Structure 1
Amino acid sequence: MLFANLVIAATMAGFGLWVADGLDQGAELPIHWNLAGEADGYAPAVTALLWPAGLSALIGALFAAIPRMEPLQERLEASAPLLRSVWIGTMLLMIFLQIMIAAPALGWPLGPNLLQVGLGALLVLIGNSLPKSRPSFFVGIRTPWTLADTDNWIATHRLGGKVMMGAGGLIIAAGLLPVPANWRASAFMALLGVAVVVPVFYSWWLWQRRSKT
């Protein structure tokens, strides 16, 4: 995985340099968009095009290091599908981000709201793998209650996977449908909040219910 990640990062760097070479000196490209989908941050073309490649390589190194830092080594293999899904999804998101940045330079009519589609797809990918994980300090929904009880972990991740996949699907729909930008931004934040808060609350509720029995 690390080798593949580094090859992808090198390919992204080559693509970025190729795009930048075709632009006028001093040209700038967007690197940040607000919740309404409007570009509100710019950087010199080379910097804008190369930073996703550099971030991809850095994230790859971090994911490669996680198995060596995990204290629960005996349970690590059970969480490998989730770790791989998050790693692959993050690499794809970095590729998508670089394409979004390069789109104006190449004349590609990609709306900035499509970045939301990529984030929604990442949530779906992660949600699909959540139920396959087991207690880990670096991967999964890590609350004091899930880490202390394997049954709590399993139940929370089953629910969390469904919630995250549902939220991701709705985020993708919001990014593709012709809805006002402020509605799209509100839907994104609300759904992301649901995907995060519901599993955490559920793990606490399970712990409370068990502690009273």
Structure 2
Amino acid sequence: MRVRGLLIASLLVVAAMVGFAFYMDATLPEGGMLPVHFNAAGQPDRYDKALTALLVAPVSLLVVSLIMAATPFLEPLQNKLEQSAPLLRAVWIGMIVVMIFVQVSIAAPALGWQLPPRMFYAVIGMFLIFLGNMLPKSRPSFFVGIRTPWTIMDTDNWIATHRLGGKLMMAAGAVIIINAFVETSEGVAIALLLGPILIAAFVPFVYSWWLWHQKKASGS
């Protein structure tokens, strides 16, 4: 799997984000503060110095990009790596988009932009739908996908589990997108954010075990 092109693109995005951070810091009054954390309603509830706040996303993206670039060289299952490459690239590209949005959300007050309070929910939802579509196309890997003892050791288990996991992840993404645009209480918003994600993560794990148990019981 080649990562050079995506790594270069990621580093260029990081450089642009760092440049944007310093530009914004220079245009703000000395000691200017920007949000670094948002509550379930999408409202800022913690602030930090502008430059520090604006550098959170590019630094995070740099770390993620370096990890993603190293993953193909660390993967023990090299013979299946190419089949999982689309999923790895999807995670990487998705993280680039998410980190750009995080920086824009932090800078928005200084730019005079009024973003919808729960727009981040919509971004997360679209990310999950994107990943859910890619999951069934992957093959056993120690670094990407739904990694259980049973999926890693059995390609058929991996394929079946990821088909289910992909559907659940896309459904979770759809629920979270709807949650972004429907007025609910903070508690309901959190439940509709975390609930679908937990279901999409837990059910495939149990299903993977069940497939292994059924195969073991049949003696195959």
User: Secondary structure of 1:76's match?
Assistant: helix
Q: Which residue of 65, 78, 83 maps to 2:83?
A: 78
C-alpha RMSD of the superposition: 1.1
Identity %: 49
2:32 and 2:50 in contact (8 A); partners too? yes
Question: In structure 1, what is the equivalent of residue 185 of structure 2?
Answer: 180
Q: Which residue of 2 aligns with 1:26?
A: 31
Partners of 2:185 and 2:39 lie apart in 1 by 14
Per-residue Cα deviation, 1:141-166 (whole angstroms, up to 9, x for no partner): 00001011110000000110010011
Counterpart amino acid of residue 209 in structure 1: Q
- Answer yes or no: is 1:207 the counterpart of 2:212: yes
Write the distance in 2 (CA, Å) between the matches of 1:176 and 1:36.
Answer: 11
Aligned residues: 213
Aligned pairs for 1:114-133 (under 5 A) are 114-133=119-138
Counterpart AA for 1:205:
W
The residue aligned with 1:96 is: 101
Query: How far did 1:178 drift?
Result: 2.6
**1:49 corresponds to:** 54
- Aligned counterpart for 1:69 among listed residues 70, 74, 79: 74
Aligned to 1:2: 7
Where 1:139 maps in the other structure, the secondary structure is coil
TM-score by length of 2: 0.94
Distance 1:42 1:192 in 2: 27
What is the identity, as a one-letter code, of the residue corresponding to 1:173?
I
Give the 3-state SS of the residue equivalent to 1:136 in structure 2.
coil
What is the alpha-carbon distance in structure 1 between the residues aligned to residue 152 and residue 47 of structure 2?
42
Q: 2:134 is aligned with what amino acid?
A: S
Q: Which runs of 5+ in 1 are unaligned?
A: none
